[in-house]
Amino acid sequence: MLSLLRVIVFPLLLLVPNYAVLSHFIVETLPGFNGKLPFKLETGYVGVGEEEKVQLYYYFVESERDPENDPLMLWLTGGPGCSGLSSFVYEIGPLTFDYANSIGDFPKLELKSNSWTKVANIIFIDQPAGSGYSYAKTSEAYNFNDTLAVALTYEFLRKWLMDHPEFLKNPLYVSGDSYSGIFVALLTRRIYDGIEVGEKPRVNIKGYIQGNALTDHYIDFNGRVIYAHRMGLISDKIYQSTKANCNGNYAEVDPNNVSCLNDLQRVDRCLKNIRRAHILEPWCDLPFLMSILKETPANARSLFPIEGPWCREKNYIYSYVWANDKAVKKALNVREGTTLEWVRCNDSMHYRGKERTESYVYDVKSVIDDHRHLISKSCRALIYSGDHDMVVPHSSTEEWIDSLKLPITDDWEPWFVDGQVAGYKVKYSQNDYEMTYATVKGGGHTAPEYKPEQCLAMVDRWFSGYPL
């Protein structure tokens, strides 16, 4: 059965003309922002795959400091199926929504003082097809798995660099968060392997960055019960019983182990109304909020500000309204007829713990060996985790890092921003490989959305080679 996404979109594409393999435009103004953009924004498409049937959309922002010499980041948003626009406005990009002053039915934009574009050039990509404004020309081309997604992203990068040769010399860092931890490790390895066999253009890769990143399905998800106990969300009694009855295995449970299943139900009841992306924040139901938005006629509402107690999911509604506006799509040079509706994360691909969906197969279960492979390269890695994230707990990240058996060069200690503890860090190195791991105190899933000042300081220091 075709996914709903493909059923809706593919007929529209019959009306879409053939486009060049790569096209891009400079965006000088955006609806909701007052005046010209004070940074250089380029948007465009890169055709990839067989006959370029997949058209990947991107946002590129030049560094606001020194674009000729600052690092180039390829940013992969998680999901899979989440738009690069989500990272652009909610995490590390130069704009966000002006929640305080958005009144009426259209959100306003404001500059973000802690954007990572202060120190780096960043390509935000909508990938795979069906994410954000990216699309495919045939229904079959919407079928993806992890391996194919990485292969087409690699093709995207090479084509983008050939079209932007002035950035070939900039140090490149493959970057991303959440589910894209799978993509980041695989793509980084693919780039290094390509260099060794002489693939062109030669990519000036220096390393990778990943935050709150899925790395190993078993370790990351098994660690949720352990994390919940460490944070006081389940009692010692419940934890000890669950640990004993499940033999410490909470992610791959024997369906005949009734005692384990009963204990895990008790754990689930304790965690049911906890916001897993940040365990201290209020929980609310985004699908319910979106249903209210869709059921209210546009000409009969004054949507903003959104009424009721605050929860972070309400912030996400702003992006749905903004990104689906016709004037916004025109300003961003989105091709007409290619996407019926922009969504922050496409549910037809988004990982929910199963083996596959109608259009996506999660075929890579662990990339620990890919990290281990990179230890033999001249490579730097920055791994960070918000310490209030229960989606991919920091304790799980620390477990797989420990499995690499890397020598510690700078042991666990706090790092600071403005004289306050911003988190804890540890540094590893072996030959020409170097990894810095940092927790972000008070950060959620993912850390820059919750602690933007601290995360900008972290990445700026790391790029510069300074201790965090």
The number of residues making up the chain comes to 468
Residue 445 is among the residues annotated as catalytic for this protein: yes
Residue 70 is among the residues annotated as catalytic for this protein: no
Type of residue found at 190:
R
Residue in 134, 178, 359, 395 annotated catalytic? 178
The answer to whether the CB of 44 falls within 8 A of the CB of 21 is no
Place of tokens 């230890």: 375
Name the pairing type of β-strands 121-126 and 54-61: antiparallel
Type of residue found at 299:
N
Name the pairing type of β-strands 420-430 and 433-440: antiparallel
| Rounded alpha-carbon distances, angstroms, from residue 16 to 105, 227, 336, 364, 434 | 30, 49, 7, 34, 47
Residue 164 is among the residues annotated as catalytic for this protein: no
85 Cβ contact list (under 8 Å, min separation 6): 59, 124, 126, 132, 319, 323, 342, 344
Sign, Cα dihedral of 58, 64, 68, 72: negative
Type of residue found at 340:
L
Residue in 389, 394, 395, 396 annotated catalytic? 389
Round to whole Å and give the CA distance between 97 and 95: 7
Sign, Cα dihedral of 301, 302, 308, 314: positive
402 Cβ contact list (under 8 Å, min separation 6): none
CA-atom Rg of the chain in angstroms: 22
Give the distance between the most distant pair of CA atoms in the chain: 64
Residue among 157, 88, 145 at smallest CA distance from 332: 88
DSSP string spanning 196-264? Answer: HTT-SSPP-EEEEEEES---BHHHHHHHHHHHHHHTTSS-HHHHHHHHHHHTT--SS--TT-HHHHHHH
* Active site positions, annotated: 178, 389, 445
